[in-house]
Amino acid sequence: MNQKALSRLLAAVTLSTALVYPQAASAAAPPPALHDDNPSGHFGDWYTGAVPPNASKDKPVILFVQGLHSTYKTWYTTDGFYDAAYNAGYRTAFVQLKDADGTGGNMWTNGAKLAEVIKKVADYYGVSKINIIAHSKGGIDTQTALVHYGAHQYVNVVHQIATPNKGSELADLAYSNWAGWLADILGKKDDAVYSLQTSYMANFRSQTDNRTEIRSTKTYMAAGTGDDGMFSPTWFGHAAIPGEDDGAVSVESAFGLPYGIKSFTKDISHGQIVKASNTWNLVEPKLQKASVRSANKVSEDKSKSSTLEESSVILRGGEVEDTVSETFFLESGINQFNLDTMTSSEDTAVTLISPSGKKYEADRSEKSESEDESEIFQDAVHHFIEVEEPEAGEWTLEVEGSDDAFFMVGSVDGGEEAKVKASKKVFKKGDKAKISVDLGKNEIDQSLLEKANLTRSLNGEKASVLDEVKFAIKEDELTGNFTVPTKPGVYNLSFDVTGINEDGEPFTRSINYNFAVTDRDGEIE
């Protein structure tokens, strides 16, 4: 049975499931019809939904665009937006992007193909303009299609749902010295994840936000602030992402389109935010809004201003062959220490040892097949440990396994924070850069002052240290000055800082600074 036939069979099974478990007062929509424009794969295929009996030409046609490593089934599922739109009388369409064939495509690859499909959908329904609902990275792909590939003339309204307009820190970490080993084993380092790094997206914003095409379409933005419960993968995302977030995308990033209109924020996870029972009633009213616009005042290029972040996390990671031990310091007064150690194998064992020798064995999650969790580390096995009021001193993480890798995220609740300030996110080759860390009233332990590892983000390769940046203590701040590489690309500067609190106790915090280097034309690669 070929893939296309299997897809049709699964669609029928999904329909049967929907009929067994119907939404209250709603009918399950008939399967969408495939427009097989790519006989050798899925990329570029599109679907048209069944025309509902209560369809009205007064209502816009909706094209649904899914996110990272997803397919059109994000929308065609139990409690999906397709059923909701069908019952509300909307004509619909769906698209398959490069992600449907395995590895994800960046916004340029997906955006060019999406622009073609947008015109095909408008022509099919005989309308001059359609509306788009886009989840996660699908919002970036949509904007690229509109602004850079001419599809703005065919789109009236775009409603983004949890779109990382400023990128995602999870993408940064996937290429860091700590998590790169695991991300490589999981196969999650591809063009799509690469393009979601925060500095890559800062450069994309500078290439996009001042173009006149942005005035043709009204764009709404929505954000989530929840997770899928204690020790869920999206719960881990809260630790790794600064500020409020949905386990994959921060609120700041979701609302990061300078000319976008804030639609709603809801206490819900990145996957659950596209369940119809949760948010259709919040999205649907915006689809009726006209796109008449006055000129937008676009904020200044954020890549040229300094960035300020806070860190209350401890990061560790690398290759696992036999037993690996990593140490770090915790101070007293911490309310709770939450540890998520991700591996690719369920056979790898994780143990946390306190300064007094007490051992904490991890609770392990099973590998998930769901698309509702954090997308970048979706296939990882999570080993969770929670410690209430941990004792002060040097802690040890032991990871035992073979042919594996691990990535540890330790979240400190109620402890000290490191404030990190960097000159900017995007540089020209050969520019001078500066990064500083402020520990407030705490001292910086010079005896544990380490160099920062500089790595370049690459797909299909293990993270390797290209250079080391030296730090100095100046006016109670840890400061590093360096010249950025001459080769265009995306880079991570990863390091620990050890502080000494007022009680003389050392504590560890980890910093990952993601930045991009462009050529003279402003291109990264």
Residue 144 is classified by DSSP as H
The mean per-residue pLDDT over the stretch 110-124 comes to: 98
Please determine, for residue 464, whether its predicted confidence score (pLDDT) is greater than 80: no
**More reliable by pLDDT, 306 or 386:** 386
Question: Residue type at 99?
Answer: D
Compute the C-alpha angle 308/312/318, nearest 5°: 105
Structure tokens at 204: 């994309």
Tens of pLDDT, residue by residue over 475-514, are 778 899 999 999 999 999 999 999 999 999 999 999 999 9
Pairwise CA distance, residues 34 & 108, whole Å:
24
- Residue 263 · residue 67 · CB < 8 Å: no
- Residue 452 · residue 422 · CB < 8 Å: no
In sequence order, what DSSP letters do the residues of 27-96 get, joined into one string? Answer: PPPPPPEEE-S-TTSSTT-EEEPPPPTT--TTSPPEEEE--TT--GGGTSSTT-HHHHHHHTT--EEEE-
The residue to which tokens 């690469």 are assigned = 194
pLDDT at residue 283, rounded to an integer: 98
Which among 224, 212, 279 has a CA at the least distance from the CA of 249?
224
Question: Residue type at 364?
Answer: R
- Residue 297 · residue 377 · CB < 8 Å: no
Please determine, for residue 277, whether its predicted confidence score (pLDDT) is greater than 70: yes
The DSSP bridge pattern shows strands 432-438 and 418-422 to be: antiparallel
> pLDDT tier at 302 (50, 70, 90 boundaries)?
very low
Please determine, for residue 408, whether its predicted confidence score (pLDDT) is greater than 50: yes
The mean per-residue pLDDT over the stretch 331-351 comes to: 95
Greatest Cα-to-Cα distance within the chain, rounded to the nearest angstrom: 74
Distance of alpha carbon 270 from its chain centroid, rounded? 9
The burial class, CB within 10 Å (0-12 / 13-18 / 19+), for 244 is middle
Tens of pLDDT, residue by residue over 8-40, are 343 433 333 333 333 334 789 999 999 999 999
- Residue 263 · residue 255 · CB < 8 Å: no
Structure tokens at 311: 């860190």
